[in-house]
Chains A and B, each alone.
Chain A
């Protein structure tokens, strides 16, 4: 007989105790997990650890330079947060286009990260914000950069007895964007996405991070493009050259949503549009 009960702790300690047990998996909003479990027929469902009631996991807090978001913060809460609108515009833009109103009201930042999809829309913004993830088990805590978290599509370094307990990043540099292409206006997984975090000092780019989604087995940094743009003055010619270089940073595939050759080109188009907006 399948065990149909869930674990519904209200303290972080109880949650961490539960996740340490065998065959227990955590559910946040459930918008990815329940879709996967829908098709699980050949064995019983694992025991579900419902995190909803663990209050500390729902917080958004800001320090002088840093912002800390709990994993249970929903996409809708991200969009509505004046703090994040000001200091993490890329994250807010990404949250606004993902899924649908209904999905955004339940999907969480922690779930989006833990799901480990290279098309997860919040991930490229987290890359460019230099986000760090706190992974906690009952007995220990570790902090890793978001870039170290992902191994491949759907595959992350989180251990079965760990939960993501906090996501933190420095406030965005003055210029940031998130752009993507998808098959339709809503309820659509991204074909390609680009996130950027840019600082311009004395007319030159002095800090830059660019991350690409859906064009590699994980989200990746566009290292060559960053190197090219660092120290340069943003103008039309530089933008066009950067848009060419970024194509070699991407390693896309053909799949049900799009073609590799198209995705490669579109990365350049999106970068161009994002940078032109900054220029304009």
Chain B
């Protein structure tokens, strides 16, 4: 009986519910010291002096470290290496790390860091990316402050627009979004007498962390070991920035030869850690009266903050998805990631696509209305199906379940175009898609390793290079291993992700773990299975082709023996039941000049329907129900798929309605606490109906595709469309606050 496809209970849940989840701050080491960070109070400035002596005199302080103490390179490797680990002469955003203070007590370390005397000469700074782009005097990056410019040039948009019957052009804005993982960033460095060092902390990408520590320390990779601790939520916010924390603890740990722990306060985390890029989008779409999308012309600007970090890759994903999941022959996209003196932005569930999809899906409804078509019919005439090409010219050979998701939402919700707007209630659709895996923008990282060992007592351990962060990867991969080996699910355990166990396997991002690690594990399991099969063949004197192994029982014809007997036999005969596996992604491509190419190996697809009620007096939008259907290829664990949908949808709802992070004229984030950065509570949650569609991806394990980011992506435009449907106002800058709705209603 296969375990894949079943909603087995997560193996890791038992520890979590008893509080034994071993998060970084739960761990203590003998002689451990505590670090805190001295940070820039200004958005841009020149450091004239740091009173290091003053810091050292503070109560409990054991050391203070600046860039001068860095053994090798002062840089955090991401895509470019423009971000220093510790500021040298200049600071470029409020919160930028300048020094690391270490004390015997956490509060003392923080006190010393907070009261450090800094002399910084303020310099003119830039906050608005539209102002920063091509700024004549202030140069933050190159001559034009543009981290990256990407293009799509397909067909002839000028000619196509000239032939359109309806053209709609709008400007959309989306703000920062803060991950608000409930576990604040935390990291521990443990030095060993042989000069090696171990890093333990919350993270998505142990190999990134290793790379950063080796770059900073000059140590060889063999001397740096990174082990992920239980990670309390990430959503992209623990992708590249743990490298900063790792360097912040590794430096003092090596210098003082003591373990060093660093835990950020919540406001420190919010102020200094990466976020979703704020975006400005000018979006022009044209259709002919037969309801066919003929042309889109898009200018998409994202605010990268002070250093480039992941902006180029975020821009790539946003660019590739810019038109939404539709056929369109004429596409002109210019996208820019711009430097400003604000916190560097990075990865957040959706990675550049929620912003552009907010615009794209808002446009679709407006076009439909002008055409006199209902939003579903209009989408049906344009959505991608097998055999179609995406806007990057990628011909889709298989696994395009978009229409199925649309059908499913309509079927389950009972929606019809004739739904009346009673009592200010409106309905709004969005259809979205998501390129699974790193795609052409990250293809050099698209490889993953695994290792599997069956012990003599039948228990199985496996290692992969990707990480568990609550999404359920441990269980999904355990299910895959269990079925591949033919053992009961309960025999299988995953080791904490550890850079010493598998070769560099890239980051845990882009919803890639199920496909990448799943395939790498299958590769290893097949090798072990071969050993088991040849042993069984000898033991039972039968051809391999007749052997069945399932749930710990070997069956050959009418004969059955326990698999445990085979395992013991292998052990006696000194045959190892262990193997490594490896998987690389099929090729992807993207031409930087034209934006053409097979941008991703496959895509996940989704349809969302939002039902919302608008209070005309107060402008409050109450979302009553959300139907969200996703084509995931194969649901290896349906409950976990539902969990991703429910969680992602609510995060998308926060983005749509209440998460409103802004920066003041000085470059300071106005809402740096959970009391002022508002995320949905249990009482804000609408009824969410998660729906699963399976259109298998042939190269995925059991047909599975990744999709964990997708549930967030289409909620904001569906809410905007529902609000318009309810009361006739269209909000084009997020979040859709009561104030904005109310002001828009007054204008009507």
Contacts and interface: CB of A to CB of B under 8 A. Distances in A.
Q: Do chains A and B touch in the complex (CB under 8 A)?
A: yes
Interface of A: 39, 41-42, 100, 181, 183-189, 256-259, 261-262, 265-266, 269, 272
B742 to A, nearest CB: 6
A181 B267 CA distance: 25
A241 to B, nearest CB: 16
B560 interface: no
B688 to A, nearest CB: 16
Nearest to A269: B617
Contacts of B684: 184-186
Given A184-B681, A265-B742, A266-B618, 7 more contacts: A42-B111, A187-B675, A187-B681, A256-B670, A256-B676, A261-B743, A262-B739
A269 B658 CA distance: 21
Interface string B718-732: 000000000000000
25 contacts: A39-B267, A41-B107, A41-B111, A41-B114, A41-B115, A42-B115, A100-B681, A181-B618, A181-B738, A183-B658, A184-B658, A184-B684, A185-B681, A185-B683, A186-B681, A186-B684, A187-B675, A256-B670, A258-B739, A259-B739, A262-B619, A262-B738, A262-B743, A266-B618, A269-B617
Interface of B: 107, 110-111, 114-115, 267, 617-620, 658, 670-671, 674-676, 678, 680-684, 738-739, 742-743
A262 B737 CA distance: 11
A99 to B, nearest CB: 10
Contacts of A265: 742
Contacts of B267: 39
A41 to B, nearest CB: 4
Question: Which of B115, B658, B684 is most buried by chain A, counting CB atoms within 10 A of its CB?
Answer: B684
Ranked nearest first, the 5 interchain pairs of A and B with the lowest CB-CB distance are A185-B683, A41-B114, A41-B111, A262-B739, A186-B681
A181 B674 CA distance: 18
A266 B619 CA distance: 10
B742 A42 contact: no
Contact of A184 (B619, B680, B739, B742): B680
B708 to A, nearest CB: 25
Contacts of B107: 41
A98 to B, nearest CB: 13
B651 to A, nearest CB: 14
Nearest to B671: A256
Nearest to B114: A41
A186 B114 CA distance: 32
Residue of A39, A41, A258 with most partner-chain B CB within 10 A: A41
Nearest to B622: A185
A256 B267 CA distance: 16
A195 B342 CA distance: 41
B433 to A, nearest CB: 30
Contacts of A258: 739
B197 to A, nearest CB: 30
A43 B114 CA distance: 11
Contacts of B110: 41
Given A41-B110, A256-B670, A259-B739, A188 B618 contact: no
A181 B670 CA distance: 21
A189 B742 CA distance: 20
A181 B678 CA distance: 14
A269 B620 CA distance: 12
Nearest to B654: A184
B111 to A, nearest CB: 4
A41 B674 CA distance: 20
Most buried by A among B675, B680, B682: B675
A184 B621 CA distance: 11
Contacts of B678: 183-184, 188
B57 to A, nearest CB: 15
B291 to A, nearest CB: 39
A261 B740 CA distance: 11
A272 B616 CA distance: 14
A14 B695 CA distance: 74
A188 B677 CA distance: 10
A269 B115 contact: no
A262 B620 CA distance: 12
A42 B683 CA distance: 38
Contacts of B618: 181, 266, 269
From A42, A256, A272, residue with most partner B Cβ within 10 Å: A256
Contacts of A100: 681
A262 B111 contact: no
Contacts of B682: 186
